[in-house]
Every structure is written in C-alpha cells, then in structure tokens.
Amino acid sequence: IPGDYATLESPCPNCGGVVKENYRRFACVGKPGAEPCGFSFGKSPAGRTFETAEANALLRDRKIGPLEGFRSKAGWPFTSEIVIKYDDEAHNYKLEFDFGDDKKGEESGELVEFEDSALGPCPICGSEVHEHGSNYVCSKAVPTAAQPTPSCTFKSGKIILQQPVEREQMTKLLATGKTDLLDKFVSMRTRRAFKAHLAWDKEAGKVNFEFAPSKFPPRPGAATKTGAASAGRTSAAAKKTTKSATAKKAPASKTAAAKAPRKPAAGKAPSAALAAVIGNDPVARPEAVKKMWEYIKAHNLQDPKDKRTIVADDKLRAVFGKDSAGMFELAGILGNHLG
Ligand SMILES: [Zn+2]
Ligand SMILES: [Zn+2]
C-alpha cells in the first residue's frame, strides 16, 4: 500500500533530495522539482530488513550497527556494521557492510570523544576503558584530544562471534579478569554455539577465550578459530593468530596450560631494516607496532586518500619489501622482522 511507505527524515547524501521507501528499496526521489539522482539502497540487505528508524539512522549517520541477523549467501548468520560510502565508479553513494574493525580512529586520525562513563581500568595501562564504535577500547588506544597519538592497544569487540558483550560483562572482565560464562558464541568454522568466559590474556596481550573445564573439551577447530577472532582482528591478523593458537594447542580447559609454551612477550631483536625505523632495542611485537605507528605519523606516511594505506619511504620499503602496505598487514610484517 503506497500510503504505508516511509519518507526518511535525512536527505539523500548525493543530491540532498528526499529519500522514500518503495517496494524493495529506499530511493532518492530528488529535490522538489528535480530528478531523482539514482541513490538508493535495498530494504533487506543480506536477508535482514531495516526498521524505518534504522534506515533513518543509517542515512543520518552514514553508518549503523553493528547489527545482528544478516545471512550470508550460504545461509550463515553474521553481524556487521553498515556504512554508506561514496563509490567512485558509480559516482554515487552505496551501502557497504563494514566488518571492521578496531582501527577506525587510527585510520582517520580523528580525535575520539567518549560519551559513556568509564567501564574500568585498562588491563594494560590502567587508563579508562570506554565504548568506541563496535569496540570497548582503552582511552589511550585511540587518538583523543588529551593524547592524539595512541600509546595503548587494548580493544575488545562488543559482539564477539555473535555473542553480545554487555557493558556489565566488560566491567566484570576489567574488574576481575574475566566475564561470566557466556553461552551465545558461534564458531565461525563449525557454526556451533559454544560457551566460554572472555578473559584477559596477559601474555597474548588481548582478550581471549577461557573455556570452562568440561568432559567434552571444545573441538580444536572451535577453540582455534575463536581465539583468533577474539580481539576482533582483521582477517589477516586473525589468520596469523590462528597459526600461533594452533601451535600452542593444549588442553583448552586451562588457560595456564595453553599459555605455557609461550614465553612472556619478551623483546625480540629487530632486523636491520626494522632497526633503522624503530631502533635496535629488543621489542615485543605490540611495542614494535606502536613504534612503527609513531614513525608513520611523525613522517606523515598514511596515504591521504586512504589512511589505511601506508606509503613507504625508503626505510619502510626495506621493511615492507614493497612500496606500500595496508595497516592490517603491519603486525604480520613486523613479526617477520622480529626474532
Ligand atoms: Zn539523490
Ligand atoms: Zn590502556
């Protein structure tokens, strides 16, 4: 019934015209007296239908989420943010899923202002932890007015493998080292639900899964994959982590056992190429990444068109082995230069 179709409150991002709902889409109908510009987005991307309020918020903020309840083509449920982005080829804005991640502030260089009350002290540096986008972050892990260059790395997703991590649980983790037993995780690999605590893994330097002692130990696939996804890393970083998780595979019921083979994150000697950038001192990888970022920022090496891309100068070229690298590659690249 045409009368039931909504008119969105925010204007078309492309032409400033009116955006109206129709049978399948929300579409620009143009400014009064003008033609529609072609901007539109589907009402049910990946099988999940927008509420009108969500469509309004999406159009207003150019992003929404993370939202749950999407289904991949293969039928698997997934959670994602949705953003409205300019598409150079189409010369118009379009909808995109945005999985990720945690690098927003660093990418854009925008200063973050927190709007929530602090959840507790960062397990790494003791600063306040706040909500930021789809993550809980240390207030020193994102650029703020108080400290434009992040000095900490603490971040943990608000939704991890479909399991929402409520503020209450993150507060508990920060206060006691772990959450209650949460039972709505879904393994990306096996699609099975599983239960785990989220716990601060001091040696890995991130939030990790801690499985309750059980006579049915978690399947290796589930444990490995979930460990990798725990910190909401990018897929490249996640793959990397998966490897190490496999390598240190141990009865997953005790974190202590799983940790044992891994020495505390002692410093490792940087390669000559890396030493030229961050100095000769032995460093653990997170520290190396931090120093690398200081170098990148100090030398203004982020591609202005895409802050995710690092444009190498001579020293970085020796480290990267190429002219540029994506920020999500950094940790992996640095790993190859340490030890
Ligand atoms: Zn328009
Ligand atoms: Zn911190």
**pLDDT at position 109, please?**
60
| Closest ligand (CA of 130) | 2
Q: Are 97 and 65 in contact (CB under 8 A)?
A: no
CA of 300 to the centre of ligand 1 (A): 36
CA of 24 to the centre of ligand 1 (A): 17
| Closest ligand (CA of 40) | 1
**pLDDT at position 265, please?**
56
**pLDDT at position 101, please?**
52
Which residues have C-beta under 5 Å from ligand 2, the single-atom ion?
122, 124-125, 127, 138, 140, 152, 154
Q: Within the chain, which residues score under 70 in pLDDT?
A: 1-3, 74, 100-109, 214-265
| Closest ligand (CA of 39) | 1
Express each pLDDT in 161-187 by its tens digit. Answer: 889 999 999 999 999 999 999 999 988
CA of 138 to the centre of ligand 2 (A): 5
**pLDDT at position 262, please?**
47
CA of 274 to the centre of ligand 1 (A): 49
Q: Are 133 and 106 in contact (CB under 8 A)?
A: no
CA of 19 to the centre of ligand 1 (A): 7
CA of 303 to the centre of ligand 1 (A): 29
Question: What is the C-alpha separation between 29 and 7, in angstroms, rounded?
Answer: 10
Express each pLDDT in 57-71 by its tens digit. Answer: 999 999 998 888 888
Which residue in this structure is represented by tokens 């970022």?
293
The yes or no reply on domain 272-336 and CATH 1.10.245.10 is: yes
Question: What is the C-alpha separation between 148 and 111, in angstroms, rounded?
Answer: 7
- Boundaries of every domain in the chain: 2-98, 104-259, 272-336
CA of 57 to the centre of ligand 1 (A): 17
Distance (Å) of CA 193 to CA 67, 189, 212, 219, 260: 19, 11, 14, 11, 27
Express each pLDDT in 93-131 by its tens digit. Answer: 999 888 765 444 445 567 888 989 999 999 999 999 999
| Closest ligand (CA of 29) | 1
**pLDDT at position 291, please?**
86
Which two structure tokens, joined as six digits, stand for 252?
């997953």
Instruction: State phi, psi for 49 to the nearest 5 degrees.
Output: -90, 130
| Closest ligand (CA of 200) | 2
CA of 21 to the centre of ligand 1 (A): 13
CA of 40 to the centre of ligand 1 (A): 8
CA of 329 to the centre of ligand 2 (A): 22
